[in-house]
Amino acid sequence: MSRLAPDTLTEPQQRILAFISQYMAEHDLPPTIREIQKGAGISSTSMVSYHLKALEKAHLVNRYERRSRGVVPARAAHAQLRDVVSVPIVGRIVASEPAPTPDPDALADAENTIQIARSIVGNGDGLYALEVKGDSMIDALINDGDIVIMRRTSEVNNGDLAAIFLTDRNESTLKRVYREKGGLRLKLKPENPNMKPFYVDARHAQIQGKVVCVIRRT
């Protein structure tokens, strides 16, 4: 079997590969299957074994069946990991009507990350990920439960998909943004034919980032 490119690995496989490498760097020994399950956020140890078989066939891990800590990255994996960016998943963004913004300290979880091919996102600086809730962006192929990879910025072009924090309402939303009236007003447009755009005073709207790519889970 030929070696997989970083962007052809499934999301769980990327998480497993990154976790094994990180664990070995910190502990100087490989993780157990159960540690991989917990650390990579996999539903069961049987699913870990399933993904490890795929990684082994792709020559990205070596497995020693009679050892409890018998999974180690192959040489090819190190080259793969250099081409992967680890992006923290820091919370949720509403793709419907604006919704209250949760406490960011409660949302942030340094162990909750997603691995993305560097060829897709480029420089990893300023990247973060959000889980989408709602269906206002379905025509942009962003569905409820998907993950959007964001780049922190306060500047966007008209038509960009962006996360907007409404300071006067303590609410956030994901919409396509247009500046109107000389920049004094923002038009926030859903990508759903059943929903209408709405308008907000630019003084009460903070652009928190724009969408770089979407990881579809639905």
Give the global pTM. Answer: 0.60
Give me the active site residues, please: 136, 175
CA distances, 25 to each of 20, 28, 38, 212 (Å): 9, 6, 17, 30
Give me the pLDDT at residue 78, please. 53
How many angstroms separate the CA atoms of 202 and 205, rounded?
A: 5
Is 23 in contact with 35 (CB distance < 8 Å)?
yes
pLDDT of residue 4: 47
Domain range annotation of the chain: 6-82, 85-215
HSE-CB for 15 with a 13 A CA cutoff = 21
pLDDT of residue 9: 76
Strands 84-94 and 127-133: parallel
Amino acid (1-letter code) at residue 154:
S
Q: Where are the beta strands (DSSP E) in the chain?
A: 61-63, 71-73, 84-94, 99-100, 113-117, 127-133, 147-151, 161-166, 171-180, 185-189, 198-201, 205-215
Per-residue pLDDT 10s for the chain (218 aa) are 344 444 467 878 888 888 888 788 778 788 899 999 988 888 899 999 999 999 888 888 888 766 778 888 776 555 555 667 778 888 888 777 676 655 444 444 445 777 777 767 777 788 888 888 888 888 888 888 888 889 998 888 999 999 999 998 888 899 999 999 988 999 999 999 898 999 999 999 999 899 988 887 65
Domain covering 85-215: architecture: Ribbon (2.10)
Q: What is the CATH number of domain 6-82?
A: 1.10.10.10
pLDDT for the residue numbered 106? 41
Looking up tokens 């020559």 gives 59
